[in-house]
Structure 1
């Protein structure tokens, strides 16, 4: 397990990290210097070596294998280090300088020059630069997030990419593949609500030939419609076709861009984002005269639907009652083994005027104390004193284990630790 070693001089007051000191942090067996950007927590560092998507029989491993089997000719990559530079994670993919994803409230930083990847797209340039043209990469990704049944600071994505030569031979390859996929989908029980491959609001890139972009975008859609049919087909009510809906979207690293939704069990579910790869990404990869597409899908989101898993924390459970329900290569409905009672506790406090506390700061603190025993965290009240301008916040923490009943003494002790850490790290005044 990774260990934090905080040594040296204190940080300046006025930031949420003012309680920490500069020093080193041990990540996957190696020490790295810390600085004012460092915000990664021990709980997050403990997840780095787990790699649920590689564990046999785990639902995420089965789903990864199912996606890979649909693209058998592609290179299948996994177990890639989660450590990347902000330049890899953002700049090489054309993220604007003011993009909120760069913020320490949204992303985990080892220091100003090193972070935990927030998406598998962070590896696109590296993989293309190695000469791969068709590939899938599955990995754990990290984003600071709220605590509830569908959000977790660690989740897993599969990135899929295909590039071809932007010449007659490459376009003929795409046309032939489009004909094959169209024939397959024409004979399949699927209804597709499409949008134009190009439009004024989802345009062709200036460096690309619109006819080439049309072919690439069409290949992207056909390829993903076929994948979605593989994942969700046959799971509808008898006689009902699978319904898929394409929506225009905006991403820094693709243009045109799309999101895809599936109508499943009575509601539309967002499945993935995708688009034609931005020319800057290809230029940064040193692959001239190429054109292609990329997509990224979240494994937990799809697995929760396919397996009927109600809480994202369950993917991290080591309880045999969870793990024994699954076999590699098989998708079955999760059988809840119990519903343990919840116990909620409120913590209300005054925040010093020189401290900014983001909701994700509070959630990270709670995770470090109580781990996956916390089911959700919600703000129930905020108030600013008209004279002192001090801010009062009240959070409600719902404690509920997925595996056992919690005693009142255990819950009280955990909550006392949360309160103590709040006072220590943020200098709050408990109300």
Structure 2
């Protein structure tokens, strides 16, 4: 249930990931793909085809051709890639046959799978074209692995499962965000019809006794349920929910022990002066649409509390809607990039998509032996090149888009234009100023773009060329008036 890792974003519309898109025309040969044939996809006025699958296009289509280049990369199953290594480490704490691993689900799904099956209302911000990549009005690039959740519950092929996949969202550009990222969600279920005497609580406690124990310090001051903050579901008996919560917490605490023990070893190997502190975690009450009660798990790491995942007792309506109403269980969601960046100390999310052997060769052999895990060593740090762009919005806060249609202004549209032109050399885009003219009511905005290549030093002339094209596209696509 990887929506648990990003549910706050779906509540506020503020959280998603930015995108790598290669430069086009003359500069594309240096920094990115430029020909549609390189994406293993084709597009026409009426259809979009990728990996042999064709989809009709309509007015909802907003998928740039560049992003399809990455669909075939599948970093989470690429041997010795940090994302795949992280996935495998987590999977090691959820052994088969109890847990079945699903790592090959295709990323194009229906809006029913992505939204309706999970109860997203029609006016939910997560459905917006500013947040989600649409093939057509009923087909999207999945925004979370939970798009496959109902189908997996319905399949009922195992007592538990893990789903790992690449997911896609439109959002800001910075060193910790990307429009393509990876999630893992996991679930464990018990069936009232098959456990001894139908006693879910007793069956769960028996399973808890078989889980590995640990000596990590755990702060869990809250009761398993709270009538207002973290309510018990009406379909559940309190002893059932408390047993499931205990199983969930013990299982995920084991994941933290596995990940951060290995992270500490790698840090100590790289720096003998690394401050080795005992592992500590704490459970925080939370709200997620698909679980109740729910929690976030935080770990104390290098002097700070870090949120690592969200989890909870699965809403019974999800099991009922999936055709397995007698099941109860828990689910969690975790972002693999976030964990991999902590585990390997990788400072920039763009590096995960690099094909530079100086990056990839550092992780060779780790998939076969986790004891070979080591901290990432930066090859070099190339200088940044900052450029500002300031403009007036139209007084209606709208802009003329393609075909003469008006498009509502959204910051994600600015980010998409920068990606489309600058590709992976756009490291960061931030608004530095915004004000409304007291007489005309017109709104002015200024954004600062940091251009920095991961592979070499950009000349000022190169940065100026890219920046001028960004300015031109802002006028063309959004109808702004440059200042």
TM-score (ref. length: structure 2):
0.81
Determine the structure 1 residue equivalent to 2:260: 232
Aligned residue number for residue 402 of structure 1: 454
Which one of 228, 231, 237 corresponds to residue 209 of structure 1? 237
Offset from partner CA, 1:190-226 (integer Å, 9 cap, x none): 3343532111210111122222111111111111111
Q: Give distance in 1, aligned partners of 2:468 and 2:459.
A: 14
Note the C-alpha offset of 1:240.
3.4
Say whether 1:313 aligns with 2:338.
no
- Contact kept, 8 Å, 2:41 with 2:51, in 1: the verdict is no
Alignment correspondent of 2:136: 111
SS of 2:70's partner is coil
Once residues 372 and 154 of structure 1 are traced to their aligned partners in structure 2, the CA distance between those partners, rounded to angstroms, is 13
Cα deviation per residue 1:301-321 (whole Å; 9 max; x = unaligned)?
011011011111111111111
Structure 1 alignment gaps of length 5 or more: 8-22
Give the C-alpha shift of residue 50 in structure 1: 1.1
- The alpha-carbon deviation at position 228 of structure 1 amounts to 1.2
Alignment match, 2:147: 122
Is the 8 Å Cα contact of residues 40 and 51 (structure 2) preserved in structure 1?
A: yes
Q: In the alignment, is the contact (CA less than 8 A) between 1:246 and 1:258 conserved in 2?
A: yes
Tell me how far apart the structure 2 counterparts of residues 120 and 423 of structure 1 sit (CA, whole Å): 36
* Aligned residue runs from structure 1 range 3-42, under 5 A: 5=43, 7=45, 23-42=46-65
What pairs with 1:75-154 in structure 2 (closer than 5 Å)? 75-132=100-157, 133-154=159-180
Could you tell me which residue of structure 2 aligns to residue 337 of structure 1? 379
- Which residue of the partner structure matches residue 346 of structure 1? 388
Residue 193 of structure 1 corresponds to 220
Distance 1:212 1:48 in 2: 41
Query: 1:388: Cα distance to partner?
Result: 4.2
- Name the CA distance, whole Å, in 2 between partners of 1:357 and 1:102: 16
- Tell me the SS of whatever aligns to 1:63: helix
Report Cα offsets for 1:86-123 as digits up to 9, x if no partner: 22112212234443222222222222101111111111
For the residues of structure 2 that align with 1:318 and 1:94, how far apart are their CA atoms? 39
Confirm or deny: 8 A CA contact 1:90 1:122 kept in the other structure: yes
SS, match of residue 189 in structure 2: strand
C-alpha deviation, 1:37, in angstroms? 2.7
Asked if the contact 1:190–1:229 (Cα under 8 Å) also holds between the matched residues in 2, the reply is: no
Cα distance in 1 for residues equivalent to 2:123 and 2:479:
30
Quote the offset at 1:392 in angstroms.
Answer: 2.0
The corresponding residue for 1:265 is 302
Distance in 2, matches of 1:178 and 1:391, equals 58
Question: What secondary structure does 1:125 align onto?
Answer: helix
Q: 2:187 aligns with which of 161, 177, 198?
A: 161
CA distance in 1: counterparts of 2:119 and 2:234, whole angstroms: 15
SS of the equivalent of 1:406 reads: coil
| Inter-CA distance 224–238: structure 2 relative to 1 (3 Å threshold) | same
Distance 1:257 1:33 in 2: 39
Q: Which residue of 2 aligns with 1:253?
A: 290
The CA distance in 2 between the partners of 1:2 and 1:425, in whole Å, is 27
Question: Is contact 1:217–1:293 with CA below 8 Å preserved after alignment?
Answer: yes
Q: TM-score, normalization: structure 1?
A: 0.90
The answer to whether 1:220 aligns with 2:248 is yes
Of 51, 69, 77, which residue of structure 2 is paired with 1:46?
A: 69
Per-residue deviation at 1:416?
Answer: 1.7
Specify which of 326, 339, 362 is matched with residue 289 of structure 1. Answer: 326
1:16 is aligned to none
Aligned to 1:326: 363
The worse-fitting range, judged by mean Cα deviation, of 322-331 and 131-140 is: 322-331
Q: Is the 8 A contact 1:42 1:368 kept in 2?
A: no
In structure 1, distance between residues paired with 2:100 and 2:74? 19
Whole-Å separation in 2 of the counterparts to 1:194 and 1:239: 25
Report the 3-state secondary structure (helix = DSSP H, G, I; strand = E; otherwise coil) of the residue aligned with 1:405. coil
> Which residue of structure 2 aligns with residue 366 of structure 1?
418
Q: CA RMSD in A?
A: 2.0
Q: Distance in 2 between matches of 1:77 and 1:408?
A: 46
For structure 2, list consecutive stretches of 5 or more residues without a partner in the other structure: 1-38, 265-273, 400-407
Q: Mean Cα displacement is larger for which, 65-74 or 102-111?
A: 102-111
TM superposition shift of 1:177: 1.7
Q: Does the CA-based 8 Å contact 1:95-1:253 persist in structure 2?
A: no
* CA drift at 1:4: 6.8
Write the distance in 2 (CA, Å) between the matches of 1:33 and 1:388.
44
- Decide whether the 8 Å contact of 2:262 with 2:343 is kept in 1: no
